[in-house]
Structure 1
Amino acid sequence: MAFDFPEQFRYADSHEYAHADGELVRVGLSAFAVDQLGDIVFVDLPDVGAVLNRGNGFGSVESVKAVEDMYAPISGEVVQRNEAVLASPEELQNDPHGEGWLLVIRPSDPTQLAELMDASTYATKVAAS
């Protein structure tokens, strides 16, 4: 199956994406990760004000198949979380790169974005798995 990975996003090995929007960064799960999970039934996200450290877990997503931890692609403070996804986890499945975003964070080190994979590198990684 072919996936569309937005060119302006950066991707972590653990399949989270980070999208810079001014001083803030929107974080979510890639379409590939969402597809692998299947029917999503529950999403757990940190509260606004939580501090995330790159590579550390920040929540989980539960599907009918499995429960998977999600990992922060960059470090920063949570300034917003997607309450719509918490109320209706299927939003994550329907539009993972759009309305299915998870968090907005204020990065503590914006240079970490450059260390993530670009869309073509991530697409190559996914195709090989």
Structure 2
Amino acid sequence: MAKISLWQKIINFFTGKKQPAYTDVQVKDGIWYAKDSDGNYLLGIDKSVYDLMGKITFADFPNQLSTIEADDDLLDIEGDKSVETLKSPISGKIIDRNKDIGQDIERLNTPDPQVNWIMKIAPAK
């Protein structure tokens, strides 16, 4: 995920647009995960996946479990160039899934993390 420029922060301040307070943004095996201000993690698809797969044309959650372990299946995706199953980089309780990506696959092809996120997870203690 790209950092927000000072200029964009100034524009956001004057337009009232708030940016999420993500800290500790990391990437593992094509999934970015960022700690939110509430201590939970938001997960999404890293740019490297788009580079390898091209445009994503299909996505589905392989299971509906309420908890997930690191390296469990997170999301099945199909792209212009290949089919992949993305794995979870962390363990924890699943708080929310981005169900909108099933109805509108273009959400995953949008670079905005507020739109293309996959899952929100409360980290395992």
TM-score w.r.t. the length of structure 1 is: 0.70
CA–CA separation in structure 1 for the residues paired with 2:102 and 2:50: 15
Percent identity reads 21
Q: CA RMSD in A?
A: 1.9
CA–CA separation in structure 1 for the residues paired with 2:66 and 2:57: 24
Q: Could you list the per-position Cα deviations for residues 71-112 of structure 1 after superposition, in whole angstroms to 9, with x for gaps in the alignment?
A: 111101111111121211121111253310000011104xxx
Aligned to 1:32: 48
CA–CA separation in structure 1 for the residues paired with 2:50 and 2:72: 19
Gaps of 5+ in 2: 4-21
Residue correspondences, number: 104
Corresponding residue to 1:68 among 77, 84, 89: 84
Aligned to 1:120: none
Aligned to 1:44: 60
CA–CA separation in structure 2 for the residues paired with 1:98 and 1:35: 20
Q: Could you list the per-position Cα deviations for residues 36-86 of structure 1 after superposition, in whole angstroms to 9, with x for gaps in the alignment?
A: 211211111243x52111122222111132111111111011111111212
Task: Note the C-alpha offset of 1:11.
Answer: 1.0
CA–CA separation in structure 2 for the residues paired with 1:96 and 1:35: 16
Gaps of 5+ in 1: 110-129
Aligned to 1:17: 32
Aligned to 2:98: 82
Q: Could you list the per-position Cα deviations for residues 11-40 of structure 1 after superposition, in whole angstroms to 9, with x for gaps in the alignment?
A: 11x110111112211011112212321121
Aligned to 2:109: 93
Contact 2:69–2:90 under 8 Å retained in 1: yes
Q: Higher RCO, 1 or 2 (CA under 8 Å, sep at least 6)?
A: 1
Bigger strand fraction: 2
Contact 1:30–1:96 under 8 Å retained in 2: no
